[in-house]
Amino acid sequence: MRILVLGSGAREHAIILALRSEEESHAIFAAPGNAGIAREAHLVDVDPMDPTAVLTFAKNEAIDLVVVGPEAPLVAGVADPLRAHGIPVFGPGKAAAQLEGSKTYAKRIMDAAGVPTGGSVRAHDTAGVEAALDRFGAPYVVKADGLAAGKGVIVTSDRAAALAHAESYLPSGAVLIEEFLSGPEVSLFFLSDGDHVAPLSPAQDFKRLRDGDEGPNTGGMGAYSPLPWLTERFGGEDEFVAQVTRDIAEPVIRQMDAEGTPFIGLLYAGLILTEQGVKVIEFNARFGDPETQVVLPRLIDPLSRLLLAAASGTLEDQPRPAFAEATAVTVVLASEGYPEAPLTGRVLTGIDGAEEVDGVHVAHAATALRDGELVATGGRVLSVVATGTTFGEAREAAYAGLERIGLEGGQYRTDIAARVARA
Ligand code: AMP
Ligand code: GLY
C-alpha cells in the first residue's frame, strides 16, 4: 500500500515501525516526520494543518490510506476532504473530532449515550467557577474546554491555584469544573469504522512530570502494556475489555452515528477505575502518546489491514486484533524546562548505543538533523521502548537504553512500571 502518515511524534514513529514490521512492504510517506521517521519513510513537506495541501498530495501520489496521528489536524478538519474524495482516511472528520476538541461536546455525548463519567459544570466567569469549585469541593479538577496539549487540566487541593488556572483559560471560552474521581487509570484504544469497534490491548500512562506522580501534568512521561493487575479486579484483560466495549465504546459510537457524525478512526478511552465502577475521564480522537509505543509492538496482526478496514467501513469482517503476551515499557526523555518552556536545540547522542540493548528501540519525537548533528527540537524528545518476557526485564532494558542517551538537562521519570515490575 501507499500510506501517508501525518504527524511528527513518537506515536507516529511507532505507527510507522508497526507498518514496517509487516510482511507486506509499503511505500510510506510522513508529513512532516522527524529524524527517526526519516529512516523509515519519505518525509514530505506538507502541512498536516492544511486539508487542501494534504488532499492534493494524496491525490498526486495515489495514496491508498491516510493515517492522522495528532489531534490538531483532525480538529482542523483534515479528514473531511480526503473522505469526500474517496481516499480512505483513518481519523474522524472535523465534527466527530469534537469528541476530543470540546470537553463539553464529549460530556453531552456521554450523557446522551448513558456512559459513566464524573459530574461536571461549565463555567463562563469567575463567579461561576467559584460556585462550581465550592459545589464539588477539594480536590479540585479544572479543565480547559478546548485542545491544550495535556496542559489544560489541573488537579489540586489548593483552591486559589484552581481558580487561577480557570481564570487563565476563561478568556479562550468556558472551563469545566469536574468532580474528582479516584482510582487507577487505564488507556484503552478502539479502532472504529463508524459502526463497529475493535479493541486493542490496554496500557497505563504516567501523566505527571516527576517520580511518585508529582509535578505538573504532561502529555505523558512513560507507559506500559498489558495491565496484569486487571485480572484481580475483573477476572482478566478480556473481561475488562468486553465490559468497556459494551458500556462505553459501543454506546458512544452508536450515539455519534445516530447524530450523523460517525466516528471513524481511533477512539481513545481515558478511564478511571473508581469504587463505583469504570468511568470516563476523557476521550481522545487519536492514538495516545506514549501508550501507542507500548501497544503496537505487541500487536500481532498487520496494522495496515486493520486501519484500512476501519477507514473503509469493513472492521466487522476482520478478526479481533490479537496481542503477544510480551510486556512492553516505554520511558520518555524530555527537554529541560518541559512542559512549561522546553529548551531546544541541544545535541542528542547515544541513540544507536541505546538500540544495542536487547529488546530496545527508540521512537523519535522532537528530533532533527542539523549540520549532521542530531538535536532535540521540542518538549518530549523521544521514547525509549523495550519489550521483554517480564516487566522486570523490559523495564531494566528500557532504563539501560536510556542511560546510554545523552541530552544536557534531559529529564525522565525513574519509576515507570516500577510497581508492576515488582508485583
Ligand atoms: P485529561 O487531560 O482530561 O486526561 O486529564 C489529565 C489527567 O488529569 C488525567 O489523566 C487524570 O490523572 C487527571 N484527571 C482528569 N480529570 C480528573 C478527574 N475528574 N478526577 C481526577 N483526576 C482527573
Ligand atoms: N498519553 C495521553 C494522551 O495521549 O493523550
- What does the block give as the cell for 297? 509492538
Q: Which CATH number fits domain 2-93: 3.40.50.20, 3.40.980.10, 3.40.50.300, 3.90.79.10?
A: 3.40.50.20
150 pLDDT more than 80: no
Question: Within the chain, what is the greatest distance between any pair of CA atoms?
Answer: 60
What is residue 319's DSSP assignment? P
Judged against a pLDDT cut of 90, whether residue 183 lies above it is answered with yes
Q: CATH number of the domain at 183-317, please? A: 3.30.470.20
Distance (Å) from CA 304 to ligand 2 centroid: 22
CATH number of 327-422: 3.90.600.10
Decide whether any atom of ligand 2 lies within 6 Å of the 288 Cβ.
Answer: yes
Q: What is the pLDDT of residue 307?
A: 98
Question: For 99-143, how does the pLDDT look when each residue is reduced to its tens digit (9 = 90+)?
Answer: 999 988 999 999 999 999 999 999 999 988 998 999 999 999 999
151 has pLDDT over 70: no
The continuous run of DSSP H or E covering 176 comes out as strand 175-178
CA 389 – CA 421 distance, rounded (Å): 11
Domain ranges of the chain: 2-93, 121-178, 183-317, 327-422
Q: Residue 97 — pLDDT band, cuts 50, 70, 90?
A: very high
62/75 Cα distance (integer angstroms): 24
- The answer to whether the beta carbons of residues 83 and 21 sit under 8 Å apart is no
What is the distance between the alpha carbons of residues 165 and 137, in angstroms, rounded to a whole number? 16
Q: Which CATH superfamily is domain 121-178 in?
A: ATP-grasp fold, A domain (3.30.1490.20)
Q: What is the pLDDT of residues 277-332, one digit of tens each?
A: 999 999 999 999 999 999 999 999 999 999 999 999 999 999 999 999 999 999 99
Nearest ligand to residue 150 Cα: 1
Average per-residue pLDDT for the chain: 96
For the chain, give the percent of residues with pLDDT over 90: 92
pLDDT in tens, 38-93: 999 999 999 999 999 999 999 999 999 999 999 999 999 999 999 999 999 999 99
Please give the distance, rounded to the nearest whole angstrom, from the Cα atom of residue 270 to the centre of ligand 2.
Answer: 8
What are the CA-CA distances from residue 418 to residues 68, 183, 272, 394, 422 (Å)?
32, 18, 20, 11, 6
Cβ(219) to ligand 1 under 6 A?
A: no
Q: Return the ∠ at Cα 377 (arms to 374 and 381), rounded to 5°.
A: 80
b/e string for 74-111 if b means 16 or more Cβ within 10 A? bbbebbbbbbeeebbbbbbbbbbbbbbbbbebbbebbe
403 grid coordinates: 542511560
Ligand number nearest CA of 142 is 1
Q: What would the pLDDT profile of 232-283 be if each residue is shown by its tens digit?
A: 999 999 999 999 999 999 999 999 999 999 999 999 999 999 999 999 999 9
pLDDT confidence band for 173 (50 / 70 / 90): confident
DSSP three-state, residue 134: helix
Checking if the pLDDT of 146 tops 80, the result is: no
Ligand 1 geometric centre to CA of 312 (Å): 33
Q: Are 123 and 139 in contact (CB under 8 A)?
A: no
pLDDT in tens, 336-359: 999 999 999 999 999 999 999 999
- Please give the pLDDT value at position 145: 81
Q: Which of the pair, 148 or 361, is modelled with greater confidence? A: 361
Q: Which atom of ligand 2 is nearest to the CA of 223?
A: 1
DSSP 376-413: E-SSEEEEEEEEESSHHHHHHHHHHHHHT-EETT-B--
Give Cα 284 to chain centroid, integer Å: 7
Segment (H or E) for 274: strand 264-274
Phi, psi of 296, rounded to the nearest 5 degrees: -65, -35
Contact by Cβ (8 Å): 302, 21: no
Q: Looking at this protein, which amino acid is placed at residue 283?
A: F
Of 100-109, 196-205, 245-254, 383-392, the range with the lowest mean pLDDT is 100-109
Least confident interval from 89-103, 139-153, 158-172, 192-206: 139-153
d(CA 59, CA 63): 7
pLDDT at 144: 85
- Residue pair 182/138 in contact by the 8 Å Cβ criterion: no
